[in-house]
């Protein structure tokens, strides 16, 4: 591999000659050989929007000449498009302000802009990473700004569409299963009946609630702390720099996303309660997905020796030793994702609590875990909807058998003969292996006609007046 010599305030360092990064990126690469988790590309691409906006605003303010501003903007367009992804090798585990990744962005943009201007960045710096690309900015305000651009983009473009897809798949099952009466269960024990559609309607409501909660959290994440620079005072940033930059960023998204200026920059630099709230919403979604997936796992258990009230798609062989075995693999994937999201939330909460004086120095781990949760949930819900939920079918024979074998249908008799007599019926049926009707007739509490009239599962689920 061919190397070149780059210089910074710490001296000289060797950098791979085919990479746009400079000395500060190289030092971080060498000083933080920790883990395999690199800075999420969502952050890098978000930085492209931010740096482009800053360059254009600085040109408007006559502090950056037109040629440099245009070159920086073009380099940023390439960064946003993913053309330069290979030039961002740094790990999440670095300085807590994200300074190394920020300088990685500045160096790559500066060197690529130099090249766009016709120069050879290996020999000259027509665009300087600090003086030009980072003009009127700091790591302390740009990193949390890029983080929020990335998070809001991911929530809007990745998570919400997946959530809606799963919600629609579940809603279709509500309609399809509307008149299938089954036994309900509480404490994993038999309870009163409901329809399979009613059961699935609870899952749809969970998705609807998650959507509302996510949209509310997006409002907090839309506030950008750009303009606070080092400690929130805005030193070295011109008047209204923050407003101009946010307006410019908004113009790039054409109404798809809308950002606002965070009114208190001291809050924006040292506190990440918006990210913590967002992570909490994702944890709540994960908890509901865990519940839905486990319900489907239980209902599909068997196929012959379990509950077996529904069937799920057989996507692949389930065992290396048991021929013909099929497992609920999509369910297991969802539940593992849910566990990971809950773990990410714990890390985010701890990290967000570490704001000391004017800066929180756990920003990279907050950004990485939050974006990880969004990606996982988005991917998991799309896969779960397509490869499991859409293919769920009822096992009507098993549902009927469980329904009419349940002792809890006796609950319908409470208002007619009282709780005590109804309990006696259930107990006699259980101990003597009788049907409820047989137990009622043996005890002489009701006629067969009265039993059939009052113990009607359809009436018990509100389907017959």
Cα angle 326, 330, 331 (rounded to 5 degrees) comes to 95
45 marked as binding residue: no
345 is in an annotated binding site: no
Q: Would the annotation count 315 as a binding residue?
A: no
**Using CA atoms, how far apart are residues 314 and 186, in angstroms rounded to an integer?**
28
List all residues 6 or more positions away from 123 whose beta carbon is below 8 Å from its beta carbon.
none
Question: Residue 17, annotated ligand binder?
Answer: no
What values do phi and psi take at 322, rounded to 5? -100, 105
Instruction: Report the C-alpha gap between 243 and 226 in whole angstroms.
Output: 9
Residues in Cβ contact with 304 at an 8 Å cutoff, skipping those fewer than 6 apart: none
Pairing verdict, β 393-394 and 189-195: unpaired
Query: Is 406 assigned a ligand-binding role in the annotation?
Result: no
- What does the block give as tokens for 437? 């009707």
Query: Which one is catalytic: 187, 267, 272, 404?
Result: 187
Tell me whether residue 353 is annotated as binding: no
What 122-127 contacts at long range (C-beta under 8 Å, 24+ apart), as own/partner pairs, is: 122/4, 122/17, 126/68, 126/71, 127/68, 127/71, 127/72
Q: Which residue is catalytic, options 319, 368, 372, 404?
A: 319
Helix (H) or strand (E) segment spanning residue 224: strand 223-224
* 317 annotated as belonging to a binding site for a ligand: no
Contact 196, 394 (CB under 8 A): yes
Angle (deg, nearest 10), helices 363-387 and 41-60: 120
Distance of CA 159 to the CA centre of its chain: 6
String of b and e for 372-392 (b: at least 16 CB within 10 Å)? bbbbbbbebbbbbbebbbbeb
Say if residue 447 carries a ligand binding annotation: no
Q: Classify residue 322 as exposed, middle or buried by CB count within 10 Å of its CB (0-12, 13-18, 19+).
A: exposed
Q: Which of 106, 53, 348 lies closest to 221, judged by CA?
A: 348
- Asked if residue 320 belongs to a known ligand binding site, the reply is yes
Q: Is 128 labelled a binding residue?
A: yes
CA atoms within 13 A on the CB side of 83: 13
Cis upstream peptide for 303 (omega within 30°): yes
Q: What is the CA radius of gyration of the chain?
A: 30
| 99 marked as part of a ligand binding site | yes
Is 319 one of the catalytic residues? yes
> 327: annotated binding-site residue?
yes
Is 435 within any annotated ligand binding site? no
Residue positions forming the annotated binding site: 97-99, 128-131, 138-140, 186, 320, 325-327
Q: Would you name the residues annotated as active-site residues?
A: 187, 319
Binding site listing for substrate: 97-99, 128-131, 138-140, 186, 320, 325-327
């Amino acid at each position: 591999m061919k190397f070149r010599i780059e210089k910074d305030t710490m001296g000289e360092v060797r950098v791979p000659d085919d990479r746009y990064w400079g000395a500060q990126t190289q030092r971080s690469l060498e000083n933080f050989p920790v883990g395999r988790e690199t800075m999420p590309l969502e952050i890098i691409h978000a930085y492209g929007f931010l740096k482009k906006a800053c360059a254009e605003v600085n040109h408007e303010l006559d502090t950056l000449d037109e040629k440099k501003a245009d070159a920086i903007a073009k380099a940023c367009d390439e960064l946003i498009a993913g053309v330069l992804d290979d030039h961002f090798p740094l790990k999440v585990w670095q300085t807590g302000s994200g300074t190394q990744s920020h300088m990685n962005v500045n160096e790559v943009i500066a060197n690529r802009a130099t090249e766009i201007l016709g120069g050879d960045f290996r020999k000259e710096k027509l665009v300087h990473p600090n003086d030009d690309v980072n003009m009127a900015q700091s790591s302390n305000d740009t990193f949390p700004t890029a983080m929020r651009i990335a998070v809001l983009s991911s929530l809007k473009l990745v998570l919400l569409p997946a959530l809606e897809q799963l919600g629609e798949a579940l809603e279709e099952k509500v309609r399809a299963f509307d008149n299938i009466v089954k036994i309900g269960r509480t404490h994993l024990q038999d309870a009163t009946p409901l329809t399979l559609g009613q059961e699935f309607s609870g899952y749809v409501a969970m998705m609807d609630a998650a959507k509302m909660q996510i949209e509310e959290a997006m409002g907090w994440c839309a506030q950008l702390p750009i303009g606070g620079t080092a400690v929130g005072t805005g030193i070295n940033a011109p008047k209204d720099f923050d407003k101009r930059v946010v307006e410019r960023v908004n113009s790039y998204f054409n109404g798809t996303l809308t950002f606002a200026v965070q009114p208190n920059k001291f809050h924006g630099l040292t506190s990440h309660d918006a990210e913590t709230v967002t992570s909490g919403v994702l944890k709540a979604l994960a908890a509901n997905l865990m519940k839905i997936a486990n319900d489907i796992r239980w209902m599909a258990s068997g196929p012959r020796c379990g509950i077996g009230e529904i069937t799920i798609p057989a996507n692949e062989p389930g065992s290396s030793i048991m021929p013909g075995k099929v497992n609920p693999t999509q369910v297991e994937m969802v539940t593992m994702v849910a566990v990971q999201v809950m773990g990410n939330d714990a890390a985010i909460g701890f990290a967000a609590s570490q704001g000391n004086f004017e800066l929180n120095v756990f920003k990279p781990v907050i950004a990485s875990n939050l974006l990880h949760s969004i990606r996982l949930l988005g991917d998991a819900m799309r896969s779960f909807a397509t490869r499991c939920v859409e293919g769920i079918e009822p096992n009507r024979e098993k549902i009927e058998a469980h329904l009419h074998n349940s002792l809890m249908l006796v609950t319908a008799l409470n208002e007619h003969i009282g709780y005590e007599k109804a309990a006696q019926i259930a107990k006699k049926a259980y101990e003597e292996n009788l049907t409820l009707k047989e137990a009622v007739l043996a005890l002489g509490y009701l006629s067969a006609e009265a039993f059939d009239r009052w113990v009607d599962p359809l009436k018990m689920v509100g389907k017959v007046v």
